[in-house]
Amino acid sequence: MVRRKWTPRDDEVVISAWLNTSKDPIVSNSMKLRTFWKRVDEFFAAMMNEKIENVHCKQRWNRINDQTNKFCVAFAAAERQATSGQCDRDMLKRAHEIFYSNQGQKFTLEHACAHVVEDSSETPKRPEGIKAAKASRNNRKGKDIEDYKTIMEGKMEELDKKEKLSKLAILDTLLAKKDPLSESEETVKNKLLAQLF
């Protein structure tokens, strides 16, 4: 099988396919993982007019998601390091430097960041055509910083939710214990109760 060379347009369609499938109110969270990715692949294949056998959206989505998450971390670090008088471009440049330093490669998915921000704030829709996508990209040049901030805020909310769920799971385990809790377990339980309720 020939390995696909993903273009920015391909990435935008993968993101739209993932977002449209995950936002589908009819199937929502009741869909099995295999069915979910099959639907994403079908959406992508239909939009790109390709055979479904040549589509591997799951791997590409995982790469896009992983790389944008890592870039958000680099961008947050650049924001923390910002000094007075630094403009947004300097901060973005510094984020790219941090990403390169941490990952050993350049961050090349700016187009994906912009598309995630646009799609996640709108109702599901078909991706725009090639000409419209190019025009849209050209009009977005000044909006990169806001996009990264929006993505970073979303990722931080997601991390907060995961942390809260983790704390709830620990608390649930402690509350379900039949044996008396040790002193340290009792301390943890009380801290979690205070934090969560």
| Closest to 95 measured CA to CA, from 138, 153, 139, 145 | 145
| Closest to 137 measured CA to CA, from 5, 12, 6, 4 | 12
pLDDT for 139 beyond 70: no
Write down the pLDDT at residue 123: 45
Better-scored residue on pLDDT, 72 or 176: 72
Write down the pLDDT at residue 124: 42
- Find the mean pLDDT for residues 60-73: 89
- Angstrom distances, CA of residue 12 to CA of 20, 43, 162: 12, 12, 27
Better-scored residue on pLDDT, 196 or 138: 196
Single-letter residue type at 71: F
**Among 56-60, 63-67, 129-133, the least confident range:** 129-133
Identify the band that residue 176 occupies on the pLDDT scale cut at 50, 70 and 90: confident
pLDDT tens-digit map of 70-108: 988 888 888 888 888 878 788 889 989 999 999 999 999
| Closest to 173 measured CA to CA, from 160, 158, 192, 159 | 192
Task: Give the span between the Cα atoms of 154 and 138, in whole angstroms.
Answer: 25
> Which residues, other chains included, contact 155 with Cβ-Cβ below 8 Å and sequence gap of 6+?
69, 72
- Find the mean pLDDT for residues 154-178: 75
Write down the pLDDT at residue 122: 47
DSSP string for residues in 41-97: HHHHHHHHT--GGG--HHHHHHHHHHHHHHHHHHHHHHHHH--TT--HHHHHHHHHH
